[in-house]
Structure 1
Amino acid sequence: MSTLEIIETCTRMAWHADQREWDRLETVFADKVTLDYTSLNGGEPAVLTPRQIVDAWSATLGGFDATQHLITNHLVDIDGDRAVCTAAFQATHRLATPHGSPLWTLGGNYRFDLAHTAGGWRITGVVMTATWADGNQNLLALAAARS
């Protein structure tokens, strides 16, 4: 049962972000989360609270007309009250624009670190490794400017 709960927690992260269910998104995270999106943005991983994650993601993703993050091929390793879930993803972002394609799609892998808490499995870390992209990456900046 734990494997399914872990997969559902990781899936809920994407679902709540795509549905703009910001309060529900906050519930999938532990009190402190290490986010590593350096394969896309450079820089260093950041340690954030769930509220900081939601504030950042709503400011960016909220500017798109639609997003769809598909997460698949989950592999789960459980060690007591800790777990690692690796999975493939494809994230499509849509924003109508007079300049260039309205779509930007990114693909790659996620590594989720999770801890079992009194409230269930919670994400303590996310490493997103982008392996390919297609379309208009400028949509990311345009969406952030709209929020």
Structure 2
Amino acid sequence: MSTTPESATHPSSLLRLLLDERDIVAVATRYCRVLDTKQWDGLAEVFLPDATAQLGNPTELAGLDAITDRIRAALENLDDSQHLVGNHEVTVDGDAGTHRCYLQAQHIRRVPDGSPNYIVAGRYEDRLVRTSDGWRIAHRTLTVMWTEGNVAVVRG
């Protein structure tokens, strides 16, 4: 799951590293819960206020409001969604960290023509920082690897 720095050989250092790794994976999981429950305010517990993101397109979003607006526009009209993440890779270096994981997201919406399902699969790559409120994403890149289903589900 992680790369252990040489300095983390002391038991207390190793424990801190393991807790940091767990907390970073929890940020990725929290992100999925926020998206699937449409509790957009919860993104403040995932991203820094001045975070940046590239979410499946080349346009870089700057700031929590822009990130929230983009996510909300993509998911608000869905009947349901389920975002699953796995194969987490975490590195920690002091108060900075990186995270990479694979994702599969099922999107459901009844549309006039075709299936109500659209699946997106890809990976998230994150840079995180430790704050007084815990780990937060400073930058997230979503790389879409493949899709399947009716794209009309996520359009319009």
TM-score, with structure 1 as normaliser: 0.88
Map of 1:33 onto structure 2: 51
Is 1:67 aligned to 2:85, yes or no? no
For residues 28-57 of structure 1, the C-alpha deviation after alignment (integer angstroms, 9 at most, x for no partner) is 1112112112xx43x33222x223322332
Deviations 1:88-132 (A, max 9, x none): 100110000121111100101110111001111001111111111
* Distance (whole Å) between structure 1 residues aligned to residue 20 and residue 44 of structure 2: 20
Q: Structure 2: which 5+ residue stretches go unaligned? A: 1-18
| Structure 1 moving runs of 4+ over 3 Å | none
Give 2:39's match in structure 1, choosing from 14, 21, 35.
Answer: 21
- Residue number in structure 1 paired with 2:143: 129
2:136 is aligned with 1:118 = no
Matches of 2:36 and 2:78, distance apart in 1: 10
Are the aligned partners of 2:52 and 2:67 in contact in 1 as well (CA < 8 Å)? no
Q: Which runs of 5+ in 1 are unaligned?
A: 143-147
Instruction: Please say if residues 10 and 123 of structure 1, whose CA atoms lie closer than 8 Å, have aligned partners that are also in contact.
Output: no
CA distance in 1, matches of 2:92, 2:82: 28
**Is residue 45 of structure 1 aligned with residue 54 of structure 2?**
no
| Residues 110, 153 of structure 2: 8 Å contact kept | no
User: Is 1:108 matched up with 2:126?
Assistant: no
Q: What count of residue pairs does the alignment treat as equivalent?
A: 138
Match among 1, 8, 11 for residue 29 of structure 2: 11
How many angstroms apart in 2 are the aligned matches of 1:27 and 1:107?
24
Identity of aligned residues (%): 32
TM-score w.r.t. structure 2 length? 0.83
CA distance in 1, matches of 2:76, 2:59: 24
Measure how far apart 1:138 and its partner are.
2.2
Q: How far apart, in 1, do the equivalents of 2:59 and 2:75 lie?
A: 21
- Aligned twin of 1:78: 92
